[in-house]
Copies of this chain bind each other. A is one copy, B any other.
Amino acid sequence: PLLNPDEFPDDMNPPENFAMVCPYIFRSGMPKKRNFPFLQKLKLKSILTLILEEYPQQNQTFLLNNGIRLFQFGVTGNKEPFADIPEDVMCEALVTLMDRRNHPILIHCNKGKHRTGCLVGCLRKLQEWSNTSIFDEYRRYSAPKSRSMDQQFIELFDVAPVLRSIDYAQL
């Protein structure tokens, strides 16, 4: 059900930059403690994080208490000179993301703008969205700090290795 007034305690606080990407897939910035009651309502089975750092202790505890599995594909953003998002890690992340055994799943990095935007952009490529629509969506979440390098990463990303690695029985 869309709402259940008896069940909602107080204000529901979604994480920064939270949104539904498509059925069973959500995106956001790093969840904070105040977002945990909201996340519980999503009945997540997994979280896929793109941060490089060790996962924060209070988030680890939240996952443990709620039976949520963590997938960590740590990447650096397309920000530092010479730093590139590795294609093979994004490929693995996409295979994990699309496996319905991991659904519902939340993707997040720190701000939910750039790395998350790249992963969602690659997912949209797999869904055969036009580049215009993919970039519009990327910019909606990263504005006013959109990065051309991210959009180029998405545009040049080769979906063939992902299509070869997918377990089609689990889509």
Contacts and interface: CB of A to CB of B under 8 A. Distances in A.
A133 B14 contact: yes
A1 interface: yes
A2 B140 contact: no
Interface residues of A, number: 37
A64 interface: no
A13 B140 contact: no
Interface string A1-29: 11111001011111011111111010000
Contact of A128 (B8, B100, B128): B8
Interface of A: 1-5, 8, 10-14, 16-23, 25, 98, 100, 123, 126-130, 132-133, 136-137, 140-141, 143, 163, 171
B163 A5 contact: yes
A17 to B, nearest CB: 8
Contacts of A18: 133
A132 B16 CA distance: 10
Contacts of A136: 16-17
Contacts of A2: 22, 25, 98, 100, 123, 126-127, 171
Interface centre among A10, A12, A14 (most CB of B within 10 A): A14
Contacts of A132: 13
A119 to B, nearest CB: 13
